[in-house]
Every structure is written in C-alpha cells, then in structure tokens.
Amino acid sequence: MKRWLVAAALMAGACSSVPAPPAGTDADTVAWWAITGDLSSDAMEGRDTGSAGYDRAADYVEARFRAAGLKPAGENGGYRQTLSLKEVRVEKAGTTFTVVTDLSAAASADDLVFVKTILELDFLHDITVRPTVSLPRELHAELVFRGYCRPEDMTGVRNKVVVCFGARRAGMTTGAQRLDAAAKAGGVGIINVDDPGFTIEPSRWPEAYARAVTFREAGLPAYPELAVMRLSAGALAAVVGERAAEILKAGAASHPLPSFDIPATLDATFAVSQRELQSDNVLAMLPGTDPVLKDEIVLVSAHLDGYGFGEPVGGDSLYNGAFDDAAYVASLIRLAERQAGAGFKRSVLFAAYTGEEKGLLGSNWYAGHLTVPKEKIAAVINLDQLRPLFPLKILTMHGIDDLTLAANARRVADGMGIELRRDMEPERNLNQRTDHFPFLRMGVPAVNFVFGFDPGTDAEVRYREWYQSRYHRPQDDMGQPLDWGAARDINLFFYRLTEDVANDPVRPGFVAGSQWAPK
C-alpha cells in the first residue's frame, strides 16, 4: 500500500516543464509527450539501473498502469519482478593511463641520444577499460601492434599489451576473436583502436562511465584477468607515433596492416569498486475478451532504464534518455490508457524492462523467469531504436523474412502509406541489441522496428546526426528536435499493430525455414 501511495503522488506531481507541442497537435501525441517529459525529467535522474531515479520512474509507470485498469502481472501478485544485480566500476578518480616512449638515435659514431616522452591518456575521453573484479590494480607492460590481431599475428606478445585495429565489418576479426587470440598468446592486455571506416555507427567519446552490471549469480567474463581497453582513433598517435595515420587509413579500408613492436610501455592504474543492487521490471496485463483467444498473450515492451549520470558532454552530466527509451515506455502507457475498460481478443502483457542498457538484463531475466506460461505468449512487439526525426515513410522490420508477423505489420503499414523493409545495415547487429531478442532466441515470434530512410537523403543526415551527437548522450533530452507527425504516426502504427495481432484469429508463427523457429 505504501508503494501505491508514493506512486500516486509521483503521478500527480512529476510533470516537468517541457517544450509545448505546436498548435494543432493531436490529443494523443500531446499526452504522449507529457509522459515522455515526466519519465525523462531531471527528477528521474536518467533512470539508471539500480538507482533511486529508476525506482521513481518504475513507481510512476506502475501508477499509470494501475490507473488505466491493467492487472498485476509480476511476482507475488504485484506489478514488479525484482532482479538481484552486482556492479563493477572503474572509478575515474584513481585511474590513470600513461604511455612512456623511449627512442634512441645516433648523434655521432660514438654517441647515442636518448629521448623519453610521457603522454597521459584521458580516461573516458581517449581510452576506457572493461570493468572486472580481476582487473589488476596496476599494469606495466611493453606495447606491440599486431594489425587485425588474428591468431597468426600474435607472435612475441607474451606479457605485453597488444594494440589491435578494432575492425567492425563483416569478414574481419571480431572483438571476441581478438580477445581470444591475445589471451592465448600470453598477452596481459589488449587495446582495440576505433575503426573510423565504420561510418554507419561511428565511435563516439566520451564514454559515460566504465561500469558493468550483471546478474548477481553470473560468472566472470572471458579472460577476466586480461585488461581489455578501447582507444579512440584520435589518440592512436600517442601510442604508435607517426604511423597512426597510415594504420587508420589502411584499416578503415580493410587493407593489410603491419605488425611491429612499439618502443613504449603502458603504465596504468585502475581504481575498481564493487556493490550489489537490485532493480525491477514493471509488468501489467490487459485481459483478453475472447473466450478462447484470451488465454493467448501479446507481449508489448520497452525499456525503462537509461544511463543516469555520467561523464559531462557540453557541460551536462545527466543522460536523460528521452528518445531512448522514455518516449516508448510512454507509448505503452498511452496504449493502456486508450484501451482502459476495453480489451482486445487476446490478452496484452505490458513490460517496462530494467537493465537494457547494461546488456538486456531485464528482458533476459523475464524470458528466463516468466510470470506466464511460455506457450501462451503468441507474439512480442518491442519499442526501441525509434527516433521521430523525419517523416515516417519507411520502417525497418527485424525478422521480416522470418515471421508471419510481417503480414500483420504490412497490413497496418499499407494502410498508413509506410513501406516495410528488411534491415539494410545488418553489420550493426541491431536485431540482437533490443529487448525482443531473448524471446526470438527462445522460439517466440518477436519483432522490433527502426525508422528507415533512403541513402543520401535529408532523413539519413538527421538519422546519422542523432547517433553521432545524441545517442547515449545528455543531449537526448526534451529539448531536441523531432518531427511531430512522425511521433504521431509511429504511435498509431504501434496501436494498430497491437490491435491487429491481438485480434487476428490466426496465431503468429515463423516462416518455414526460419533460423529462429523452434527445432
């Protein structure tokens, strides 16, 4: 009862001051925008997993679901499912990275001139490190460069830090392969240099923080004793000197790279902290109305968590997460409110997940600890990666070639003048980076959508600019530009798709031969 009273107070008083929608904006979009403003307000402190701000946001969502008449679908007869988590963080205070270069040159036949340079790398701006409990508190090792760090490249790296070109394109060594090769060859650390040629999702700095959140009972990551670092392309010259430009140009074009020993050492110190925390999924049910179909469930979801406080960008250290993903938790709330007192034929389960930004924690946990029988889940519709920046004319549908849900989506899209397309950038692995994926992997028809565009258009410019300057940045806030028509249309598409799937007499399934179909 206490939680409900707190949530009710939040719902009444959390409204933040946000830019007003333009005159003539429809009532549903106005309401959606207000909820988005509440969830991404400074009062929610960026909704970081396990934070007090996230708890306030979860209280708010539960209150809205209750007020809309949704039934509890969590654990123990409530609206929550609690995740027990642990955090390892590399603190900025006390963490340093220093490259010491020793060069010698002949001044005469009998004399040598010794030159030593010492360069400090800026933690979270030039370089970052994977947080693990086994990370050494100090690291002092020689540096070597080994190109793409294939197994055959890893000669003479024992007890050294291996610098690798961090290629991200198909056919090149992956991060996991580079890590495996460096560890098996006896390296004590690996530095992956950003690939400037991967322009469809360019690397961005600073990192918000070096923080890993996992399930409390989870084991250690692969090779936990190895210091796994990431270096900005702009900082490569501080490590390899004048050969940096040559390496970046060749690597960006996937051309052969040299291997050479670097006349330098890396001196690093790591300040590591640990703590335990917990965070909740919010789960609520709109019961179905059909005597038979009501036992089947359409799961609609979005992630409630964000980044919270992090490294300042432009003087702002609060990562509000308005479009990622407060706006689409707001869409769940609006669907619930629009349907208050009037269900669909199938039941609809609403899920606001925690921990998506830390590795799909909430959805993975729910998929493994369902509060409803797995066989009753007919479909999953997830909302993420949606940025209403330009008119909604094209939607990428993950799984378009695998799911009979494509027919439902086309039926709705055709009625709205929207073209559905398959993923044109599969190397970004977006299908694996959202909360529908744990369900797809376990054989449940599950889908996510992304705003699409034609190459070379203004829409592409806006899309790329958002990822460069606002994605996982404090600038993803309520002051950013948006296309109000696109915001209206993506919500309408979601409402209509949910209705179409929930009322369809034919249960969704997999297309014959789909890699995701249950074996």
pLDDT band at 112 (very low <50, low <70, confident <90, very high): low
Copy the structure tokens of residue 406: 């494509």
What tens digit of pLDDT does each residue of 179-199 get? 999 999 999 999 999 999 999
**What pLDDT was estimated at residue 373?**
98
Task: Give CA 372 to chain center in angstroms.
Answer: 26
3-state SS, 129-189, equals ECCCCCCCCEEEEEEEEECCCCHHHCCCCCCCEEEEECCCCCCCCCHHHHHHHHHHCCCCE
Instruction: Say whether the peptide bond before residue 325 is cis (omega within 30 degrees of 0).
Output: yes
Distance between CA atoms of residues 164 and 110, nearest Å: 37
pLDDT of residue 10: 46
For 256-295, how does the pLDDT look when each residue is reduced to its tens digit (9 = 90+)?
A: 999 999 999 999 999 999 999 999 999 999 999 999 999 9
Q: Are 415 and 478 in contact (CB under 8 A)?
A: no
Say which residues have a Cβ less than 8 Å from residue 145's Cβ, sequence separation at least 6: 162, 163, 164, 240, 243, 247, 258, 259, 260, 261, 262
Reading the block at residue 319, the tokens are: 């990562």
> How far does CA 151 lie from the centroid of its chain?
30
- Residue 109 makes CB contacts below 8 A (sequence gap 6+) with none
pLDDT of 108 strictly over 90: no
What CA–CA distances, in Å, run from 80 to 13, 61, 77, 285? 22, 11, 9, 12
How does strand 308-313 pair with strand 80-90? unpaired
Residue type, 20: A
At 392, the amino acid letter reads: L
The phi and psi torsions of 71 (rounded to 5 degrees) equal -95, 150
- What is the pLDDT, as a whole number, of residue 213? 98
- Return the residue matching tokens 């991200």: 168
| 201 φ, ψ (degrees, to nearest 5) | -150, 80
- Tokens describing residue 33: 């925008």
Distant-in-sequence, close-in-space partners of 342: CB < 8 Å, separation ≥ 6: none
Q: What's the rounded Cα separation, in Å, for the pair 308 and 245?
A: 36
- Local confidence band at 393 (pLDDT 50, 70, 90 cut-offs): very high
Residue 411 has pLDDT above 60, yes or no: yes
Q: Are 270 and 320 in contact (CB under 8 A)?
A: no
Nearest alpha-carbon partner for 193 in 219, 157, 229: 229
Q: Is 376 helix (H, G, I), strand (E, B) or coil?
A: helix
